[in-house]
Every structure is written in C-alpha cells, then in structure tokens.
C-alpha cells in the first residue's frame, strides 16, 4: 500500500488546455436575443488524454444570471455546454483525486463568443465559423505523494509528453499546442532577449560616451 | 401730523423687520435720540468693605436703588487671586534648607517678595533689593524651586495648606519644580541671539538652507543612479552566474566557477578564457542541453539544436562580455542563460498552475513593460507556458524592466547634456554633476572624476 509520504525533490508537470468554443446559433426559428451563441467551456488534456486518473471533478462557476451557476462535472470529458449572449469570466476549479492529496486549483477564463480578429486570409470572420479561445497551461505537482506517483507511472504521465508537431488540420478539436509550438515560442523569446540586450549595451555605450565629455 | 408720520415710520419698520428676519441691520436702524428711560432713578451713595484689603478701610460708591442689593462681596474682589507660596518654619529651614550661597535672611526675604508679587519673577527681579546683592533672575528661580523640591521630598504628598495636591504623587510634584539654572540661562541667551539677528544674517541663513536642500536632492538622485547601474551590472552578472537557488550545481559548472574566481577584474582575460573554456566541456554541455530540453523529445530536439544554438549564443555572450565589467567566464560559455537545474533546493509540496506563478512586474511599470514586450512580438502571457518558456519569459521581463530604467537615465543624461543647468557653469560640469557615478568605471578614471564631482557638490 503506497503511503502518503511525499517524494522529495520530484516535480511532475501535467499539461492541460482549457477554454471555450462558441458558435452562433442560426436557426429557422426566430432568434432569441438572450441565446445568440452556444458555447462549450472545457478542461482537456493533450492527445485526447483522459484526465480522470488525477482529476476528480471540475467545477465551472458561471455568471449569476445563469440558474445554478455552480456546475460540477464529475466525469470526463470535463466540459460544459450552454447558451447565452454575453461574455463573462468563468471560474474553473479543478479538484484532484483523493489519492493525490492535493488541494484544488483555480483558473479563470474569459468566455469568448465574438471573433476578435480577422480570419487568417484577412477577411472578416465568417458567420458560421466557431470562435475559439483555448489556453495552454501546466499543472505542476511539487513532491507528489508516493501513491500519486504510482498512479502517474501507471498512466505514463511522468513526462509531459507533448505532441511533437502541430496538428496538420485546423480542426478545433485538436489545438496547436506541441513541442513545435513551444520551440517557436522559445525562439521568439530568444530573439526578443537579444534585441533587449543589444539595446541595453547601446544605451550604456552612449552613456559612457556622454560621461566622458 | 407729526404723530401720523411717527406712527407710519414705526409700522414701516415692523414690515422691514419681518422681511429681514427680525434682526435689523445696523444701517437701517435710525438712532433714536429719545431716551429709553422716562423717569429719573434713585441712586444712593453706599459704603462697602473690600475683603481683599487687610485693613478695615470703608469706602463709598454709588449704587442704583432698584438694582439688586449687594449682599455678596464687593464685585471686584474675585480678581484678587492669591498665589500660594509655600512657607516653612525656622526649624524646617535649619533641618533641610540651609545653603552655602543663600543666608536664611535672604531666603526669607526672597520668599516674602515672591508672596508679595505673586511669583512674577521679572517683577521680583526688578524689585529685589537685599543689601546690594547681585542675584540674577535665574539665581532667584533656582533658589525658589530648589527649596520647593526639598520640601516636597520631606513632606511628601501630605497636604500643607493644601499647597501640594494630595492626588499627585511625589514624583510628579518633583517634576513640576524641576529647574536647571544653566539650561535656563543658555536658553534665554539663545532666544536673545535669535531675536537680535540682523537682516543680513537672515538672508544668509535662507541661502544656506536652500543650498543644503539642493545638495540633499542631488545626493538622492546620485544614489538612485548609482543603484541603477549596480543593478544593471548585477543583472548581467546574473546572466552569467545566477546567485539564486536555481544555480545549477552540476559538478563541471561548479568546478569551473571556482577556478575562474581568482582571475576576476582583469580585462585581458576576457577573450581567451571563453574560447578555451568552450573547447573543454562540450560533453557536459550537451548533456545539460539534453536534460533541460523540451520534455518528451530528449534525443531529438536536444541533439539537433544544441550545436547551432551554442554557436549563436556563444557569439552573443562574447559581445556582452566585452562590455560588462564583471567577469565570470564559466557559465557564458554554455548558453545565453544558464541551463535550468534538475533539482531545486527548496521545494514546497503542493500543486500550482504554472502560468499563475510567473512573477509579475511592479504595477507602476506594468503597462510600459507589456507595451515594450508587444513591440518585440511577445504577448502579455506566454502562449505555451512550459518550464523553459516560463523561465525565459520571466528573464525577458526583468531585462525589459532594466532596459526601461536605463532608457530613463539615458534620457535624463541627454537632456542635461543639451540644456545646462542655470546654477552650474557649463555643460561639462553638468555632465559631472548629474552624470552616472563614475565609481564603477575602470580604476584609472575613478579617482579623478570622483574628486571633481566632490568638489562641485561641496560648493
């Protein structure tokens, strides 16, 4: 029986992504101004991973104007579909399985219904295209318990296991998060860092020159 | 006819009064020359006794008959306040109050005068006339207060003619009568001097004060600039050897840093050491790269990118080294930033969301930092907050903060350079006065610039 002792010095991070997809409701019936969009808010793992081995439930707290704003999803897939007209902040509280002995974590997500940028071709967003707002994040477990560690090993979850390449299709069901995307971001950060360093050096040179006068 | 006019006048007044709320403004009221009293009143010339007088002198004054008869004391007697001056017996005097400087007679005389003039010491001092003794006001006060203190000590809080309030304890009473002759004399001297300052002295003081304040302000500006420079140089050094718990403690790294610490502060070592150190630990570098590279792609990305990255980053680091004053030649070899540690030293058990733990910027700088980052193509939040990305993102944020601070300082320098200060005699000295502390420059120029600066400030 694995104990609740913590494994010293071990850090395991699990990647997840969360956010929403929204589609405008178009129908033959007259449009209800209070329900112009159907949206789904979700917490998912990469590679369609089943998160239930460490997530017990996800509670989505919606705007007060929704009846029973606290929606608890206790089985995978941890997502919730609703209809509405307005964008608001959803509080997402992730509760972990008891075997992890971890306290719940809270995330906040701004529900996006309206397209906020043009389509990649520069044309206005087509009316039927769903609006996506998905954010990548990592749940970092510092010194997990031995019991939890065993669970992780069993589910091959000791390493983040990001997909290597970005998905080929622009299908909303598979987001872009991958090693490739990470590398691109690292490159961008490096470039920015170099620019800033160069600017700092330039400024210091100029100050040195001025001081010498 | 006149009666009608008079009565009409009275009625008009009444209407006016009601309009103005009853209280007539002075300008509207015509002074009436009529007297309010019609009948003559009776007065009588009455004798009275003044209780404050010691003798039984009877004086007379006029009293109106219909006013209240005065059974009480004479109205003005209440103004005769008597100050209680303590009294002592001869016995008391012999036991406690003898003094080398004051004879009993003189002390008695002093107290008599105190009683007579209600403890008004300026008056007492003026009227003092005892065998041509030259007592100053402070002397007399001193004697009076010391007698009181001694008597308090002896009698304690006991009421003696209700003189000492029995509610107060002895300590407080003693404090009431504390008197330091020398301090009093000095204080009065000081006041006198202050009062007698001439106009020129006042102006001089004003000027000195302004000068001192200006110097104070300059000092603060100088210290902030000095600190800024220290922080930027520290940051560069941090790029080379971070002193945080994130310091990687791989054996090779630690070994190199030890060997090179001895050769600090000599610029000739700049170029050779990076390249030489480069050659040696390629193996360890590769392994470091491998371990820190993106998880899940250990063999692939580590192997592919490490060579190219190392090359590019080594060149960058050499550029930076040329400018930086501090030398630490070990870590710049490997990366633009030192490799991430495999183990943290202090781990707090628990779970957290990685993007939430990104240390933020001070709120005052936040908007500017975000704007600068977006100019560089970086959003307010990293797209994929993995361990490496977060580390680099945080580092970039800090560097941007440094950059903004340096920019501010450079702007100010520029401005001062273009528009010399009115008080200082020329652009060169302005540069010196407001310039960055020369203390961090190479050893040779430090002494010269420091002296010059000190001379300017000392004006």
- Chain B positions in Cβ-Cβ contact with residue A93 (cut-off 8 Å): none
- What is the gyration radius of the CA atoms in chain B, in angstroms? 46
What pLDDT is recorded for position A68? Answer: 93
Residues A155 and A74 in one domain: yes
Buried-state track B411-432, b at ≥16 Cβ within 10 A, e below 16: eebeebbeebeeebeeeebbbb
When the pLDDT of each residue in chain B is averaged and rounded to a whole number, the result is: 69
Contact B351, A96 (CB under 8 A): yes
What pLDDT is recorded for position B432? Answer: 44
Asked whether residue B289 carries a pLDDT value surpassing 70, the answer given is no
Q: How confident is the model at residue B163 (pLDDT cuts 50, 70, 90)?
A: low
* C-alpha distances out from residue B29 to A40, B7, B13, B14, B23, Å: 86, 16, 9, 11, 10
Q: How confident is the model at residue B265 (pLDDT cuts 50, 70, 90)?
A: very low
What pLDDT is recorded for position B411? Answer: 86
Residue A70 CB burial class (10 angstroms; 0-12, 13-18, ≥19): exposed
When the pLDDT of each residue in chain A is averaged and rounded to a whole number, the result is: 86
Judge whether A20 is closer than 8 Å to chain B, CB to CB: no
* Chain-chain contact of A6 with B403 (C-beta, under 8 angstroms): no
Asked whether residue A94 carries a pLDDT value surpassing 90, the answer given is yes
Contacts of B263 (CB under 8 A, 6+ apart): B269, B273, B327, B329
Q: How confident is the model at residue B130 (pLDDT cuts 50, 70, 90)?
A: confident
Question: Is residue A3 in a domain?
Answer: no
Residues A187 and A93 in one domain: no
- Least confident interval from A171-175, A189-193, B176-180: A171-175
- Least confident interval from A106-120, B80-94, B104-118, B288-302: B288-302
Q: Could you give phi then psi for residue B261, rounded to 5 degrees?
A: -65, -25
Q: What is the DSSP letter of A178?
A: S
3-class SS of residue B115: helix
- What is the gyration radius of the CA atoms in chain A, in angstroms? 22
Q: Which residues pair with A70 in a beta bridge?
A: A61
Encoded tokens for B98:
């003898």
Question: Considering only CA atoms, which of B416, B441, B241, B151 is closest in space to residue B323?
Answer: B441
Residues A42 and A147 in one domain: yes
Instruction: Say what percent of chain B tops pLDDT 70.
Output: 57
List of long-range contacts for B434-439, beta carbons under 8 Å, 24+ apart: B434/B218, B434/B221, B435/A210, B435/A211, B436/A207, B436/A211, B436/B225, B436/B226, B436/B229, B436/B409, B437/B222, B437/B225, B437/B226, B437/B229, B438/A211, B439/B226
Question: Is residue A187 in a domain?
Answer: yes
Judge whether B190 is closer than 8 Å to chain A, CB to CB: no
* Chain-chain contact of A182 with B384 (C-beta, under 8 angstroms): yes
Which residue in chain B has the smallest CA separation from A156?
Answer: B296
Place of tokens 């036991």: B95
Instruction: Say what percent of chain B tops pLDDT 90.
Output: 10
Of residues A88 and B309, more confidence is placed in A88
Question: Is residue A6 in a domain?
Answer: no
- Least confident interval from A5-14, A119-128, B66-75, B237-246: B237-246
- Chain B positions in Cβ-Cβ contact with residue A109 (cut-off 8 Å): none
**Going along B150-193, which residue ranges are E strands?**
none
How many helices (DSSP H) and strands (DSSP E) are in chain A?
2, 8
* Chain-chain contact of B389 with A164 (C-beta, under 8 angstroms): no
Asked whether residue B393 carries a pLDDT value surpassing 70, the answer given is yes
Which residue in chain B has the smallest CA separation from A101?
Answer: B350
Contacts of B305 (CB under 8 A, 6+ apart): A183, B289, B293
Question: Is residue A2 in a domain?
Answer: no
Asked whether residue B132 carries a pLDDT value surpassing 90, the answer given is no
Judge whether B5 is closer than 8 Å to chain A, CB to CB: no
How many domains are there within chain A? 2
- The per-residue DSSP string of B220-265 comes to HHHHHHHHHHHHHHHHHHHHHS--STT----HHHHHHHHHHHTTTT
- Chain B positions in Cβ-Cβ contact with residue A160 (cut-off 8 Å): 295-296, 386
Place of tokens 């793992």: A45
The stretches of B25-180 forming alpha helices (DSSP H) are 90-92, 104-116, 121-127, 137-155, 170-176
Question: Is residue A36 in a domain?
Answer: yes
Residue B333 CA to residue B339 CA, distance in Å, equals: 11
Question: Is residue A170 in a domain?
Answer: no
* Chain-chain contact of A196 with B400 (C-beta, under 8 angstroms): yes
Buried-state track B369-381, b at ≥16 Cβ within 10 A, e below 16: bbebbeebebeee
Q: What is the DSSP letter of A26?
A: -
pLDDT in tens, B88-124: 888 888 888 888 888 899 999 999 999 989 899 999 9
What are the extents of the domains in chain B? 90-195, 197-235, 363-415
Judge whether B395 is closer than 8 Å to chain A, CB to CB: yes
What pLDDT is recorded for position B30? Answer: 73
**Going along B4-91, which residue ranges are E strands?**
43-49, 58-64
B contact residues 232-261, partner A, Cβ 8 Å cutoff: 232
* Chain-chain contact of B414 with A193 (C-beta, under 8 angstroms): no
Pick from A43, A93, A100, A186 the residue to mutate for testing the B interface (most B CBs within 10 Å).
A186
Residues A206 and A140 in one domain: no
Residues A92 and A190 in one domain: no
Q: Residue A84: give its domain's CATH number.
A: 2.60.40.1970
* Chain-chain contact of A105 with B351 (C-beta, under 8 angstroms): yes
**B272-279 and B251-261 helices, crossing angle to 10°:** 150
Which residue in chain A has the smallest CA separation from B296?
Answer: A161
Cis amide linkage into residue A24, ω under 30° from 0: no
Asked whether residue B275 carries a pLDDT value surpassing 80, the answer given is no
Encoded tokens for B3:
């009666």
Which phi-psi region, left, alpha or beta, contains residue A143 (left: φ > 0; alpha: ψ -120 to 50)?
Answer: left
Residue A142 CA to residue B395 CA, distance in Å, equals: 22
Asked whether residue B446 carries a pLDDT value surpassing 60, the answer given is no
pLDDT in tens, B327-371: 333 333 334 555 555 555 678 888 999 988 888 778 888 888 888
- Chain A positions in Cβ-Cβ contact with residue B376 (cut-off 8 Å): 191-192, 195-196
**B298-323 and B272-279 helices, crossing angle to 10°:** 160
* Chain-chain contact of A189 with B392 (C-beta, under 8 angstroms): yes
* Chain-chain contact of B351 with A199 (C-beta, under 8 angstroms): no
List of long-range contacts for A194-201, beta carbons under 8 Å, 24+ apart: A194/B316, A194/B336, A195/B376, A196/B376, A196/B396, A196/B399, A196/B400, A196/B403, A197/B316, A197/B320, A197/B399, A199/B403, A200/B232, A200/B399, A200/B402, A200/B403, A200/B406, A201/B319, A201/B320, A201/B323
Residues A67 and A111 in one domain: yes
Encoded tokens for A61:
């707290």
Please work out, in degrees rounded to the nearest 5, the angle formed at the alpha carbon of residue A151 by the alpha carbons of A147 and A156. Answer: 145
* C-alpha distances out from residue A96 to A104, A187, B307, Å: 6, 34, 41
Most confident of A106-120, B95-109, B292-306, B338-352: B95-109
* C-alpha distances out from residue A32 to A25, A85, B50, B81, Å: 9, 9, 102, 93
Question: Is residue A199 in a domain?
Answer: yes
Asked whether residue A169 carries a pLDDT value surpassing 60, the answer given is yes
Residues A111 and A36 in one domain: yes
User: Residue B16's Cα: distance from chain center in Å?
Assistant: 60
Question: Is residue A130 in a domain?
Answer: yes
Contacts of B352 (CB under 8 A, 6+ apart): A105, A139, A140, A142
* Chain-chain contact of B354 with A210 (C-beta, under 8 angstroms): no
- Chain A positions in Cβ-Cβ contact with residue B343 (cut-off 8 Å): 9
Which phi-psi region, left, alpha or beta, contains residue B107 (left: φ > 0; alpha: ψ -120 to 50)?
Answer: alpha
B contact residues 295-354, partner A, Cβ 8 Å cutoff: 295-297, 300-301, 305, 316, 319-320, 323, 336, 343-344, 347-354
Q: The domain containing residue A132 runs over which residues?
A: 11-163
Q: How confident is the model at residue B252 (pLDDT cuts 50, 70, 90)?
A: very low
Q: What is the mean pLDDT of residues B191-195?
A: 89
What pLDDT is recorded for position B441? Answer: 42
- Least confident interval from A38-42, B151-155, B158-162, B183-187: B158-162
A contact residues 22-51, partner B, Cβ 8 Å cutoff: none
Residue B314 CA to residue B395 CA, distance in Å, equals: 18
Residue B393 CA to residue A185 CA, distance in Å, equals: 10
Superfamily of domain B90-195: Homeodomain-like (1.10.10.60)
Pick from B386, B393, B426 the residue to mutate for testing the A interface (most A CBs within 10 Å).
B386
Which phi-psi region, left, alpha or beta, contains residue B364 (left: φ > 0; alpha: ψ -120 to 50)?
Answer: alpha
Residue B369 CA to residue A60 CA, distance in Å, equals: 32
Distance in Å from the first CA to the final CA of chain A: 76
Residues A47 and A111 in one domain: yes
pLDDT in tens, B9-46: 555 667 776 776 666 556 666 778 888 878 888 888 88
Most confident of B354-368, B393-407, B426-440: B393-407
For residue A186, give the nearest of B232, B295, B389 by CB distance.
B389
Residues A113 and A201 in one domain: no
Task: Give ipTM to 2 decimals.
Answer: 0.89
Q: What is the mean pLDDT of residues B184-200?
A: 88
Asked whether residue A180 carries a pLDDT value surpassing 50, the answer given is yes
Judge whether A196 is closer than 8 Å to chain B, CB to CB: yes
B207 CA: distance to closest CA in chain A (Å): 30
For residue A201, give the nearest of B323, B377, B381 by CB distance.
B323
Of residues B49 and B209, more confidence is placed in B209
- Least confident interval from A164-168, A191-195, B138-142: A164-168
Which residue in chain B has the smallest CA separation from A143?
Answer: B349
Judge whether B403 is closer than 8 Å to chain A, CB to CB: yes
A contact residues 87-116, partner B, Cβ 8 Å cutoff: 96, 100, 102-103, 105, 107
Pick from A189, A199, A213 the residue to mutate for testing the B interface (most B CBs within 10 Å).
A189
């Amino acid at each position: 029986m694995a104990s609740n002792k913590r494994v010293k010095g071990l850090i395991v991070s699990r990647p997840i992504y969360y956010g929403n997809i929204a589609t405008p409701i178009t129908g033959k019936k007259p449009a209800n101004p209070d329900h112009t969009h159907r949206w789904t808010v979700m917490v998912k793992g990469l590679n369609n991973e089943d998160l239930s081995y460490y997530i017990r439930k996800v509670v989505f707290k919606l705007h007060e104007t929704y009846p029973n704003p606290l929606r608890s999803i206790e089985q995978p897939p941890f997502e919730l579909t609703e209809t509405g007209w307005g964008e608001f902040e959803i509080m997402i509280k992730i509760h972990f399985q008891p075997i992890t002995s971890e306290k719940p974590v809270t995330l906040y997500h701004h529900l996006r219904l309206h397209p906020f940028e043009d389509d990649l071709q520069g044309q206005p967003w087509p009316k039927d295209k769903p609006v996506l707002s998905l954010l990548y994040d990592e749940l970092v477990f510092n010194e997990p318990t031995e019991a939890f560690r065993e669970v992780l090993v069993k589910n091959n979850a000791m390493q983040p296991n990001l997909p290597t390449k970005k998905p080929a299709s622009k299908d909303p069901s598979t987001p872009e998060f991958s090693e490739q995307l990470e590398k691109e971001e690292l490159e961008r950060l490096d470039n920015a860092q170099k620019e800033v360093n160069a600017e700092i050096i330039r400024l210091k040179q100029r100050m040195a020159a001025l001081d010498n006068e | 006819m006149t009666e009608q006019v008079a009565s009409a006048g009275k009625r008009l007044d009444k209407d006016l009064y009601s309009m103005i709320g009853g209280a007539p403004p002075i300008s509207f009221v015509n002074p009436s020359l009529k007297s309010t009293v019609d009948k003559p009143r009776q007065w009588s010339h009455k004798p009275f006794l003044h209780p404050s007088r010691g003798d039984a002198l009877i004086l007379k004054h006029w009293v109106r008959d219909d006013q209240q008869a005065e059974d009480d004391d004479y109205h003005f007697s209440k103004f005769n306040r008597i100050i209680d001056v303590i009294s002592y017996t001869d016995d008391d005097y012999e036991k406690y109050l003898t003094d080398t400087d004051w004879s009993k007679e003189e002390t008695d005389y002093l107290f008599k005068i105190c009683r007579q003039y209600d403890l008004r010491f300026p008056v007492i001092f003026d009227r003092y006339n005892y065998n041509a003794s030259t007592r100053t006001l402070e002397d007399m006060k001193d004697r009076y207060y010391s007698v009181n203190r001694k008597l308090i000590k002896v009698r304690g809080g006991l009421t003696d003619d209700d003189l000492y309030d029995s509610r107060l304890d002895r300590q407080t009473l003693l404090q009431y009568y504390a008197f330091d002759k020398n301090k009093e004399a000095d204080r009065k001297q000081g006041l006198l001097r202050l009062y007698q300052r001439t106009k020129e002295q006042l102006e001089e003081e004003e000027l000195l004060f302004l000068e001192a304040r200006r110097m104070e302000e300059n000092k603060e500006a100088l210290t902030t600039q000095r600190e800024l420079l220290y922080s930027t140089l520290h940051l560069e050094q941090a790029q080379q050897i971070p002193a945080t718990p994130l310091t990687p403690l791989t054996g090779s790294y630690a070994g190199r840093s030890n060997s090179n610490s001895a050769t600090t502060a000599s610029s000739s070592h700049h170029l050779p050491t990076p390249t030489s150190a480069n050659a040696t630990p390629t193996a360890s570098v590769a392994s470091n790269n491998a371990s820190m590279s993106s998880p899940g792609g250990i063999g692939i990305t580590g192997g592919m990118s490490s060579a190219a990255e190392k090359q590019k980053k080594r060149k960058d680091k050499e550029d930076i080294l040329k400018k930086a004053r501090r030398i630490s030649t070990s870590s710049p070899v490997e990366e633009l930033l030192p490799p991430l540690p495999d183990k943290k030293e202090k781990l707090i058990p628990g779970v957290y969301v990685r993007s939430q733990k990104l240390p933020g910027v001070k709120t005052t700088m936040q908007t500017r930092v975000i704007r600068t980052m977006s100019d560089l193509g970086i959003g307010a939040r990293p797209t994929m907050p993995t361990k490496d990305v977060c580390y680099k993102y945080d580092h970039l944020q800090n560097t941007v903060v440094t950059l903004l601070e340096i920019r501010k300082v450079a702007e100010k320098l520029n401005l001062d350079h273009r528009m010399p200060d009115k008080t200082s005699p020329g652009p060169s000295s302005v540069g010196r006065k407001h310039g960055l502390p020369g203390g961090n420059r190479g050893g040779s120029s430090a002494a010269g610039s420091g002296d010059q600066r000190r001379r300017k400030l000392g004006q």
